Structures are given as structure tokens and as C-alpha cells.
Amino acid sequence: MKAATYHRYGGPEVVSITEMPRPTPGENEVLIKVHASTVSAGDWRLRSLEVPRGFGLAVRAFAGWSRPRQPVLGGDAAGVIVEKGAGVQGWGIGDAVVAYPSAKMGGHAEYLLMPAKGILALKPERLSFAEAAAIPFGGLTALEFLCDKGRLKAGEKVLIVGASGAVGSAAVQLARHLGAEVTAVCSGANAALVKDLGAAHVVDYKAHDLADLAARFDIILDTTETAPWSRVRHLLTRRGRLLVVSGGLGSMVRMLFNRRIIGGVSMGSTEGLERLMQLVKEGAFFPLIDRGYAFEQVARAHAHVDTGRKTGAVVLAMLPEQQAAGAHTAHLE
């Protein structure tokens, strides 16, 4: 099978298309023919080793000290089950699914092996495979931080920093759906887009200093490492929480002494993915896609993510017909 692999850390040029053996499912595994995946911030960090300050050694210990232990990136995928192990129940050949291998990676290949009890869900018919692949990374992270970690309640005021990214755009929609009043922080160019997603107010970070806001918030969700406690604590209500999706070692240390700073790694869950799929069916959630690339253009997709200026997800289409179509999306380049 063809796979996008990397064997050393570095820029987009370290990723190339190579041939690998097609995996064979074990007794409790399914083999998915991948139609689409995404190049996420997680892929960027593992490939480049550009991680929050203080986490370089930990990431190397996990990913591989001198070179990558897992040569195939891709923490999410959408495709069709083509083989399954003898012990697999509940899944059938031909099922169209959304998969979230997360840190185990492997989605940037023609075939992905997943545990039958892994983070899998049926793909809603209203979604293309490209749209479905754009959901897990941003959607599951936003859902876990807002609901499980932040315990968001209806009527609360939420400030989302980095509202046009994959996590931020999902958080805007989910917070609005849960009954919160959302203020989104993004560039002025994306103001109309995040309002369309459900933001009641938009702050252009290029024109206004976040720290000068007069409003107070019950939750601040920081996806960009630009809203540390020292900068935004005065923007929180008495019981307000700062949710740190991306932060350095300093933020992690402060969490030990301040229960109002909440962070950690988003693990995702089958229940969470199924909940997102149900919201899609109800018309309450839809993935934001920046643009799509053909599988052979994987290095270009990484280069775009490296700019730090993407809006939503960057889709990697394994099959030519899987272009990123839908609301707030762009066509394959």
C-alpha cells in the first residue's frame, strides 16, 4: 500500500510517499480503506518537534528519540471497512466509518488498522468522507475540554481564543449548541465565518488587545498559547476557568496550584465521536475545512499547516473524488 512516511524530524520535505505492506487485521481488528484524513496540528508537532516549551524531551521519549518510531502520521481518517477479524462484532464489511487512531497515528495511508473497540463511529450519510475526516481531531478536543474538563453550563459566557482553527471552530459550534454565549477571538478576516458558526461577538486580535476586554467570562478556552493566566485572569468571573488546550510547562506547573487552570491531553472516546456524529445528523455541527490536498501533495499540505494560518482542518484526500466540499470549505488544489 502507499503511505506518507517520515523517517527524520524536520520540515514538510521530510514527508514522502512510499510503499509499505498492507496490514492484516487480527482477531479483534478491522481494516479500513482510507478515503480521507487530515494534516493536523498534532501531525505538525510530531513531524517538526515544535512543541510547547518544556515538552521537547517528553515528546521525543514518546515519538522516538533520534527518529520517529511511527513513520506514518495521521490521527484521524474516514473510509470503508474492507476486512475484519474473526472475533469482530458490530462492524460489517462495507461500513463507512470515521476513525480516530489519535496518537497511534497511521491515517496517512491507503489502509488503516483499528481495534474493533477503538474510537470508531458510522459516517453520517450527509457527510462526504473528506468532511467526516475533518471532525475527530478538532471536534473531540473541543468536546472534551468544554464538557468533561470545563463542565460548561447553559447560560455561561465563553471566550474562545483561536476560534477559526480546527479546535476553535468546533468549540464555537459546540459551546453555542450547549447554550453558551460565545465570544470568538480571531483575525478580522475570519470574523464573518465564526459568527456564522455561532459566535455572538468577535474580537479581532490584530486590532484589539485581548487583555483590554471589558467583559467577564465563565470559561476561556485557549487553543493558541496566547492567553496565559497572568494575561487573562482578570477576564474571568469568580469561578471562571481557563482551559489550556495548548500550553507550555509553565502552564502545567501552575495547574498543580490553581484549580481554575485546566489542561491536559485530549484522549477522545467512542462516545464522544458518536455524539459528534449525532450532532451532524441533527444539523447542529459541521466541520470547518480550510482546504484539501490530493494524497500525492502531502508535503504541500504540511507546508500549509506550518504557516499557522489555516482555518479549520486541512484535508488529505486518498481518492481523487474525495474533495473537501460543504459549508465553509475549499476545493482540492
Closest C-alpha among 245, 220, 290 to residue 142: 245
Residue 156 to residue 181: CA distance in whole angstroms = 6
Query: Residue 201 region, left (φ>0) first, then alpha (ψ -120 to 50), else beta?
Result: beta
CB-CB contact of 126 with 202 (8 Å) = no
Strand partners, 84: 30
Residue 250 to residue 52: CA distance in whole angstroms = 10
181-209: pLDDT as tens digits: 999 999 999 999 999 999 999 999 999 99
Residue 140 to residue 217: CA distance in whole angstroms = 23
Q: What is the pLDDT along the chain (333 residues), one digit of tens a residue?
A: 999 999 999 999 999 999 999 999 999 999 999 999 999 999 999 999 988 777 778 888 888 888 999 999 999 999 999 999 999 999 999 999 999 998 899 999 999 999 999 999 999 999 999 999 999 999 999 999 999 999 999 999 999 999 999 999 999 999 999 999 999 999 999 999 999 999 999 999 999 999 999 999 999 999 998 999 999 999 999 999 999 997 666 677 778 788 999 988 888 999 999 999 999 999 999 999 999 999 999 999 999 999 988 999 999 999 765 555 443 443 333
pTM exceeds 0.95, yes or no:
no
How many Cα neighbours within 13 Å face the side chain of 329? 24
DSSP state, residue 90: S
DSSP state, residue 319: S
CATH C-level class of 138-262: alpha beta
CB-CB contact of 164 with 185 (8 Å) = no
At the second CATH level, the architecture of 2-135+287-317 is Alpha-Beta Complex (3.90)
What are the structural domain ranges in the chain? Answer: 2-135+287-317, 138-262
145-181: pLDDT as tens digits: 999 999 999 999 999 999 999 999 999 999 999 999 9
Residue 209 to residue 199: CA distance in whole angstroms = 19
